[in-house]
């Protein structure tokens, strides 16, 4: 199981999700752990990580900067889906992005 990404309400109700059934995101994030990230460095592949509305713009920036590091079409496709999900969450009050690890 990889890192599933969900858009949730403040009550924890799931609105949308991107499933990482091929365990792609942990490998992609691990390849860039040596970089100075403000937010994605804290995504826990074994736990849950939540980002709020104040963090969404910076999270989008950092996720966009991962795209050149994607080595395969499946990595690019998954990252694009995550970017789309996070982008749709921007400016939505009481909505969060949550990464669910193993």
DSSP letter, residue 72? S
What domains sit in the chain, N to C, each tagged with a CATH number?
4-100 (3.40.1760)
Torsion of CA 8, 9, 13, 16, to 10 degrees: -40
Along the 102 residues of the chain, how does pLDDT read in single tens digits? 789 999 999 999 999 999 999 999 998 888 777 677 889 989 999 999 999 999 999 999 999 999 998 999 999 999 999 999 999 999 899 999 999 998
Q: Which residues contact 77 (CB under 8 A, 6 or more apart)?
A: none
What is the distance between the alpha carbons of residues 13 and 19, in angstroms, rounded to a whole number?
Answer: 16
Q: Are 97 and 49 in contact (CB under 8 A)?
A: no
Q: Are 14 and 8 in contact (CB under 8 A)?
A: yes
Q: Which helix (H) or strand (E) holds 83?
A: helix 73-89
The residue with tokens 């970089």 is: 35
pLDDT for residue 102: 81
């Amino acid at each position: 199981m990889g890192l599933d990404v969900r858009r949730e309400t403040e009550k924890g109700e799931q609105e949308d999700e991107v499933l990482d059934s091929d365990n792609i995101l942990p490998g992609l994030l691990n390849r860039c752990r040596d970089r100075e990230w403000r937010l994605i460095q804290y995504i826990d592949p074994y736990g849950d990580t939540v980002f709020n509305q104040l963090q969404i713009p910076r999270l989008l920036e950092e996720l966009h900067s991962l795209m050149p590091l994607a080595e395969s079409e499946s990595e690019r496709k998954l990252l694009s889906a995550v970017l789309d999900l996070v982008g749709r969450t921007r400016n939505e009050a009481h909505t969060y992005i949550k990464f669910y690890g193993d």
